[in-house]
A and B are shown apart, each in its own frame.
Chain A
Amino acid sequence: MTDVIAGATENLSDEESSKIERRIISFIQKEIQDKSIVLTRATRREDVAIDSIDVVNVVFAIEEEFDVEIELTPDARFDTVGELVDTLIRFIPEEKRTC
């Protein structure tokens, strides 16, 4: 999975990158069932029990927010929140990442 997402945010400045990442993480944060967990890029999937329903809800929320199509199946593999974030950001055109 890592090779697929490599370089997803390489064209963005540090500030822009962290801003879009924070927004994506906030969408994931809203869907997870244990609200006491504060997500970071390093949070491991098994520690927050993100399942296929959560993923499909996150995908829908991001599609609505950014008006994009995200070709990601609910069973997509990722080990950390950062990997999921990077995968999702790939589907958001650069001009929309700062809005």
Chain B
Amino acid sequence: MTNPSLDVTGRGIVSSLGHSVEDFARATFEGRSAISTIETPGFSLRFGNGAPIRDFEPAAHFDDRTISMLDRFAQFATVAARQAWAESGIGACDVDPTRIAVVIGTANSGIDILDVGFRRIFKTDSRIPPLTIPQTMGSAPASRIAREIGARGPVFGVTSACASAAHAMLVGASMIRSGLVDVALVGGTDSCFSEGYLRAWDALRVVSGDTCRPFSIGRKGLIVGEGAAMLVLERAGRAAARGARPVARLLGGGTSSDAGDLVAPDPKGMELAIRSALDDAGIEASAIDYVNAHGTGTVANDRAEAAAIRAVFGDREEQVPVSSTKSMVGHSMGASGAIEAIATIAAIEHGIVPPTLNYLGPDPDVGIDPTPDVARPARIDVALSNSFAFGGLNVSLVFGRAEG
């Protein structure tokens, strides 16, 4: 049985390719890259490139007191949520506050303030900032956003590494479908350029020494990114009733667990998530016009994800176009699913398949069309967005063109 779809009525984003949906979407279509040399003062890494957000000014969005209470990831989330809520046009009298949910994914929680605190404790044995605890909380973005929009329903954070935002979107959608709430502000956020965090990734040796080349021959790993993105989901028909026009529909989603390795991906788990999403949306694989891949640029992920995509879509006459937003903004960890949802919706809205950058040529182990380097015009009515996390936690979401 097909589950009811939901309207997406608001979007917001803070990314290394812009702090508005319009700027970000244009950059993805133009194939611009935010990946460049990163500064590592006083420490060295095996990799030298990343995609940090270089132009985020907290003072432009918050007063000093609020800044002292919100770690960087919560600041990103709040700014993105303000955009999404504004685009939704939901006014104070449009929804019962107890029927608004806020569910925000994060892989890292308040890792910047932890870095500051641990440096003080272990290097200089000095005091740590008094609001360290509330800043570290993974639920801090959800609490702050709830305060700003007046959400008094279910409000919490979720975490599933790089699928955190996608799980948050799916949980919010499920709460609307179940009748628990009418509106859900959902998404993900992460800040990823503290010294400790970069050194931890360095230790894992999966970060590329050059750049991010998803699905390409010669790919060497992921590139660290960061940011936040948010969606406002509503029960279908609510927006039209108040005269607002949805920007897209969330047709369905699927999730699965590999029940396997903590870092090695399993194509079967990925395939299960994709098939579950198609079933949930009540569509066949042939209805998917574009796949926004998880596409990290690691040898293992891209090989496994390509195998899953071939397993689901392989019997089509023409290959389904696939691309990876991470080739432009790097891997934004717990935010990536939401950032890529924004890219997916933009692709539907504008009829453009965004490219995968830095492609050197086909890898015989991959066998999919990653839309190398240049965007392609295409009619996209329905698109799939994948988020496949370490620990074998997989989510696929199906977005569709807004009705009307």
CB distance from A74 to the nearest CB of B (A): 8
CB distance from A72 to the nearest CB of B (A): 11
Tell whether, in the assembled complex, residue B127 and residue A53 are in contact, meaning their CB atoms are under 8 Å apart. Answer: no
Tell whether, in the assembled complex, residue A31 and residue B130 are in contact, meaning their CB atoms are under 8 Å apart. Answer: no
Contact digits for A63-81, partner B, Cβ 8 Å, 1 yes 0 no: 1100000000000000000
Tell whether, in the assembled complex, residue A53 and residue B63 are in contact, meaning their CB atoms are under 8 Å apart. Answer: no
Tell whether, in the assembled complex, residue B130 and residue A60 are in contact, meaning their CB atoms are under 8 Å apart. Answer: yes
Tell whether, in the assembled complex, residue B127 and residue A60 are in contact, meaning their CB atoms are under 8 Å apart. Answer: yes
* Distance, CA A97 to CA B21, complexed state (A): 53
Residue numbers in A under 8 Å from B131 (CB-CB): 53, 56-57
Query: Which of B63, B130, B131 has the most chain A CB atoms closer than 10 A to its own CB?
Result: B130
- Does chain B have a CB within 8 A of A33? yes
- Does chain A have a CB within 8 A of B68? yes
Residue numbers in A under 8 Å from B64 (CB-CB): 30
Could you jot down 17 A-B contacts, CB within 8 Å? A31-B65, A33-B63, A33-B65, A53-B65, A53-B69, A53-B131, A56-B130, A56-B131, A57-B65, A57-B68, A57-B130, A59-B130, A60-B127, A60-B129, A60-B130, A63-B127, A64-B127
- Does chain B have a CB within 8 A of A54? yes
* Distance, CA A57 to CA B131, complexed state (A): 8
Interface size, chain A (Cβ < 8 Å): 11
Contact digits for B103-131, partner A, Cβ 8 Å, 1 yes 0 no: 00000000000000000000000010111
Q: Is the interface of A mostly helix, strand, loop or mixed?
A: helix
* Distance, CA A57 to CA B66, complexed state (A): 12
**Residue of A whose beta carbon sits closest to that of B128:** A60
Residue numbers in B under 8 Å from A31 (CB-CB): 65
The one of B63, B65, B129 that contacts A54, using a Cβ cutoff of 8 Å:
B65
**Residue of A whose beta carbon sits closest to that of B134:** A53
Interface residues of A in 24-82 (CB under 8 A from B): 30-31, 33, 53-54, 56-57, 59-60, 63-64
* Distance, CA A30 to CA B64, complexed state (A): 9
* Distance, CA A54 to CA B130, complexed state (A): 10
CB distance from B133 to the nearest CB of A (A): 11
Apart from A33-B65, A60-B129, A63-B127, 15 more pairs, CB < 8 Å: A31-B65, A33-B63, A53-B68, A53-B69, A53-B131, A54-B65, A56-B130, A56-B131, A57-B65, A57-B68, A57-B130, A59-B130, A60-B127, A60-B130, A64-B127
* Distance, CA A33 to CA B129, complexed state (A): 19
CB distance from A37 to the nearest CB of B (A): 14
CB distance from B67 to the nearest CB of A (A): 11
Residue numbers in A under 8 Å from B127 (CB-CB): 60, 63-64
Residue numbers in A under 8 Å from B130 (CB-CB): 56-57, 59-60
* Distance, CA A55 to CA B64, complexed state (A): 14
CB distance from B85 to the nearest CB of A (A): 23
CB distance from B217 to the nearest CB of A (A): 54
Contact digits for B127-164, partner A, Cβ 8 Å, 1 yes 0 no: 10111000000000000000000000000000000000
Residue numbers in A under 8 Å from B68 (CB-CB): 53, 57
CB distance from B74 to the nearest CB of A (A): 15
Residue numbers in B under 8 Å from A59 (CB-CB): 130
CB distance from A54 to the nearest CB of B (A): 7
* Distance, CA A56 to CA B134, complexed state (A): 13
CB distance from A4 to the nearest CB of B (A): 22
* Distance, CA A33 to CA B65, complexed state (A): 7
**Residue of B whose beta carbon sits closest to that of A63:** B127
Residue numbers in B under 8 Å from A64 (CB-CB): 127
* Distance, CA A63 to CA B64, complexed state (A): 19
CB distance from B66 to the nearest CB of A (A): 9
* Distance, CA A63 to CA B68, complexed state (A): 17
Pick the 7 closest A-B CB pairs, nearest first: A56-B130, A60-B130, A63-B127, A33-B65, A57-B68, A57-B130, A64-B127
Residue numbers in B under 8 Å from A53 (CB-CB): 65, 68-69, 131
